[in-house]
Amino acid sequence: MKIAFLADPLSSFQTYKDTTYAMMREAGRRGHTLYAFEHRHMAFAGGAVVADVARITLTGDPEDWYRAEVPAAMALTEFDIIVERTDPPFNMEYIYATYLLEMAQAQGARVVNRPEAIRSHNEKLAIMQFPQLTPPTLVTSDAARVRIFHREHKDIILKPLDGMGGAGIFRVREDGMNLGSIIETLSHNGERTIMVQRYVPDIVKGDKRVLLIGGQVVPYCLARIPQGGEVRGNLAAGGLGVAQAISPRDREIAETLAPILSGRGLLLVGLDVIGDYLTEINVTSPTCFQEIEQQTGFKVAEMFVDALEKAV
């Protein structure tokens, strides 16, 4: 197959942990031809969606890990499948990219995850579709509503709707210390909508990343455990990643969502689960493949490329 990875600059990859690299390595091992490009390389021209795409070869060297040919303009329909792996922020440029990919799809390209499904599943807001699985949650730009929610639940988490890696997440305890300032900062004085959730004490055991691939549940998750007094377990915020078998509750949540999300065109999904609660549904570029394989031996990238091959 000709597989094109739509990703951040290859020079930014940290190959010892990067999930997109793990995907590429497994696809290359199977003899598939690999290509790479970025959102900024796409265009609608001459009635078709095209991009300046580079064919790449993996070297096996963890530092100088790839060789890239000179990029050439190619129609996106020339690939057997395109894998969208661009990290957030999910801003207007990302949305424009999904529209271009959707047009390419209409012309015959295969894209995973489906661009319209990515666009329809804000990684914070998508959990609102499954309130039976989530902690008490408020979405608002109204400071008064946040204060009422805090009085009711006493210990809360506040976060922006467009962040990643734990950026902009705050905890406010019963004393309400700095609540007003945090609301003003996150909501830009009421101009932006934010999410507020009841604090889940089980975060001390980890913010678990549970993966769904092709409608199937990966049997291991990565518990990202906060360190040094942090409330955030995200690896980007210094969390310690500990791979472990998924719990019965993790499986219950995952098996509830797997057929629904797969049916919407989401081949790869990363659920965030704290304790017994679903807190996020990640669809842009879910990670943790390498950490799970390194600690458990379960080859997540093999499962993913199996699903890719089945999708073509």
Residue 311's pLDDT is what? Answer: 96
Predicted pLDDT at 126: 97
User: Mean pLDDT of residues grouped by 10 in the chain (312 residues)?
Assistant: 98 96 98 98 97 97 95 98 95 96 98 98 96 98 98 97 81 97 97 97 96 98 89 78 98 98 98 97 97 98 98 94
pLDDT of residue 231: 79
pTM score, whole prediction: 0.94
Please give the pLDDT value at position 188.
96
Q: Which residue(s) pair with 156 in the sheet?
A: 172, 198
Q: Catalytic amino acids?
A: 124, 159, 209, 224, 232, 272, 280, 282
Q: CB-side exposure of 168: number of CA atoms within 13 Å?
A: 16
Candidates 145, 123, 155; CA nearest to 268 is 123
- Domains in the chain: ranges and CATH: 2-120 (3.40.50.20), 136-199 (3.30.1490.20), 202-311 (3.30.470.20)
User: Alpha-carbon distance 211 to 208, whole Å?
Assistant: 10
pLDDT for 239 equals 86
Task: Provide the Cα torsion 99, 102, 106, 109; round to 10°.
Answer: 130
Q: Which two tokens stand for residue 95?
A: 């949305």
Going by C-alpha positions, the residue among 216, 217, 212, 220 that lies closest to residue 296 is: 220
Measured from the Cβ of residue 277, the count of other Cβ atoms closer than 10 Å reads 19
pLDDT for position 62: 87
